[in-house]
Amino acid sequence: MILTAGNAALLNSIGLGVITLLQHPDQLAEFKRDDSSAPTVVNELLRFNTVSALNSRHATKKLVRIGTQQIEENIGVICSVQSGDRDRLGDETDPESFDLHQKRDPRSVLAFGYGPHRCQAETLSRVGLEIAFTTLFRRLPDLRLARDVDELEYPPAEQNSGVLTLPVLF
């Protein structure tokens, strides 16, 4: 279950991660020079490109207040995980930016959920992504997109984030 359930998320994380790194050539060059930073790179990619777009939950208390909204017990809500990882209320100086120099706490990244709903395979997934990006850019240092980012195909907004095809040159 752990291997199959996380397969799509892992593949989407790789695709979006490659795009993001190629869009930030200075930071990618740093990673290529020192791939021991792979855990930091993966953490920032997971925060920046949270592939789990939406999660549904229901209130378990009589009244829950989120900002100005009141949610009564057993009322369902749909949460945008992506917006949580870019929340300006955190310690980040610029959460909308991809920045490998911003040392973010891996526990604060919502890509794997939070609390009792946190993914059991988080460590396995992080290690898999570290190996994927390190190996990819070590073996194909001249990797580049074959199309503009605007020309790539993405899944519909109601599905998890990702890229449907990723044509590259090397």
Note the pLDDT tens digit of each residue in 141-158.
999 999 999 999 988 876
Tokens coding 51: 């592939």
Tokens coding 7: 């397969």
Q: How confident is the model at residue 109 (pLDDT cuts 50, 70, 90)?
A: confident
How many independent structural domains does the chain possess? Answer: 1
Comparing CA positions, the residue from 58, 57, 52, 59 lying closest to residue 84 is 52
The reported pLDDT for the residue numbered 147 is 96
CATH number of residue 134's parent domain = 1.10.630.10
Residue 105 inside a domain? The answer is: yes
Residue 127 inside a domain? The answer is: yes
pTM higher than 0.85: no
The mean pLDDT value for 60-83 works out to 78
Residue 161 inside a domain? The answer is: yes
127: pLDDT strictly greater than 80:
yes
Residue 126 inside a domain? The answer is: yes
**What pLDDT digit, counting tens, does each position of 73-107 carry?**
888 877 776 777 776 655 556 788 899 988 778 87
Residue 71 inside a domain? The answer is: no
Residue 10 inside a domain? The answer is: yes
What percent of the chain has a predicted confidence (pLDDT) above 70?
A: 88
58: pLDDT strictly greater than 70:
yes
Residue 64 inside a domain? The answer is: no
- Who contacts 91 (Cβ-Cβ below 8 Å, separation ≥6)? none
Q: 141: domain range?
A: 2-52+97-169
Residue 59 inside a domain? The answer is: no
Compare 3 and 64 and report the one with higher pLDDT.
64
11-25, 74-88, 125-139: least confident range? 74-88
22: pLDDT strictly greater than 80:
yes
